[in-house]
Amino acid sequence: MIKVENLRKEFKKTVKEPGLAGSFKSLFHPKSERVVAVNDISFHVPKGEILGFIGPNGAGKSTVIKMLTGILTPTSGTCTINGKNPTENRKSYVKEIGVVFGQRTQLWWDLPLRETYGVLKEMYEVPDDSYKERMSFLNEVLELEAFITSPVRTLSLGQRMRADIAASLLHSPKVLFLDEPTIGLDVVVKDNIRKAIAQINEREQTTVILTTHDLADIELLADRIVMIDKGSNVFDGTISELKSRYGRIRELHLETNTKNAEKALGYREHFHFSDDDLKVEQEGSSVKVRFNSDTVSVSDMLAYTLKMVNVKDISVKDADIEEIIRRLYRQGV
């Protein structure tokens, strides 16, 4: 369905010395250097899959998405959707895709929402009868009815996002790109939007590429994750693969009356944990211990803990994906 092969993007960046004098100097003797934003990224997405595309800020996610949506021209490499290539025939390529940038709207700001759909219908040449059918479907899934006659500038962020997603789906695209579709939304709206995405994906086999910083989006929606950092692909696989590959982080919660539990417990000295494999936090009587269960087994940790301090209550749980990703973002891979 989607094939991304050896995608690379370089930007030219003017190097300036600091201050007004530096800017002035650069006006006459511009110095520039090439910055590699995306370096040799490849992945495939089969039809109907929801792909979570993640990475820390500045990793090059947006640059990749912009190349895949025909906005930026790659320095080298190709991306194709059903054999169509945006650099060769942008117009026929973008007919197959729908795009939502959470930070920007593509709706006509000054006009009632309905008007935007009218123009997009013409732009994408959607026939009258399928337009009607489509609108009633999108209405049902995204609940647009309540504000479809309001000018776009008066919509709340949640309404606007739903309206934007509907706009991107009007022409029944085969692939939907969602760049941070839940940014700045409250929990209820986030939930609704996730449900709508899942519903559309299931009903129409729409392939979805989703970038987000809210890992709940990924856990609830994504079949697979592609993670990039510093412009390169660092992980490609399912969530369970991610969990098993990058160490089994477990969380130990305990209640104790020991004042300085970390010192009293002395995990690091006893088990020889490396810095990344252990983290202890204490707040009053409650202590949270994150550790890598590949280094030390859960039963060893439990037995040792119970021996060292006076424990009132104790529990162990799987660390969530957020913890894994946090570790990966912080240290690189």
Contact set with another protein (CB under 8 A): 11, 62, 66, 69-73, 87, 90-92, 94-95, 97, 99, 101, 103-104, 106, 108, 110-111, 115, 118-119, 122-125, 151, 179
Q: How far is the CB of 238 from another protein (least distance, A)?
A: 28
Nearer to another protein by C-beta: 125 or 275? 125
Q: How far is the CB of 28 from another protein (least distance, A)?
A: 15
Give dist(CA 30, CA 36) in Å, integer.
Answer: 19
Nearer to another protein by C-beta: 46 or 58? 58
Helices (H) then strands (E): counts for the chain? 13, 13
Q: How far is the CB of 292 from another protein (least distance, A)?
A: 35
Nearer to another protein by C-beta: 65 or 319? 65
Positive or negative, the Cα torsion across 133, 136, 141, 147? positive
Q: Are 115 and 150 in contact (CB under 8 A)?
A: no
Q: Output 154-162 pairs: Cβ under 8 A, ≥24 positions apart.
A: 155/113, 157/184, 157/185, 158/185, 158/186, 158/189, 160/105, 160/107, 161/100, 161/102, 161/185, 161/189, 161/193, 162/189, 162/192, 162/193, 162/196
Q: How far is the CB of 66 from another protein (least distance, A)?
A: 6
Nearer to another protein by C-beta: 167 or 196? 167
Nearer to another protein by C-beta: 8 or 243? 8
Q: How far is the CB of 187 from another protein (least distance, A)?
A: 24
User: Residue 329 belongs to what H/E stretch?
Assistant: helix 321-331
Which residue is listed with tokens 């776009």? 152
